[in-house]
Amino acid sequence: MSQPDGGPAFPQPHYETSDDEGNPTTLWTGMSLRDWFAGLMLAGIKLHAKSDFVAGVELDDAARQVAIGAYAVADAMLKKREAQP
């Protein structure tokens, strides 16, 4: 079963005893693959004060638009990855 966020990008096993019998339960920590993909998208975007993208747009609005776009690309990447055999 796949995870909606793609699961961990860089999985690190972390063991905690969580049941009454002392059996370890494996937990995975770290960023999700979705976050990693979005971060890669952001690394490819170059914003500066004279950019047409941010001209006349408040910085908070520009940041929000960039974040929405980055996660849209990340979601598309996860969807395409899920479709692969």
Listed by start position, the domains of the chain span 31-83
H-run or E-run covering 58? none
- CA dist 3 and 10 (Å) reads 14
Q: What is the pLDDT of residue 56?
A: 63
Question: What share of the chain in percent tops pLDDT 90?
Answer: 20
Average pLDDT over residues 52-71: 76
Q: Which residues contact 28 (CB under 8 A, 6 or more apart)?
A: 7, 8, 11, 12, 13, 14
Which is more confidently placed, 33 or 1? 33
Which is more confidently placed, 77 or 12? 77
- CA dist 56 and 40 (Å) reads 26
| 76 pLDDT above the threshold of 80 | yes
Which is more confidently placed, 50 or 36? 36
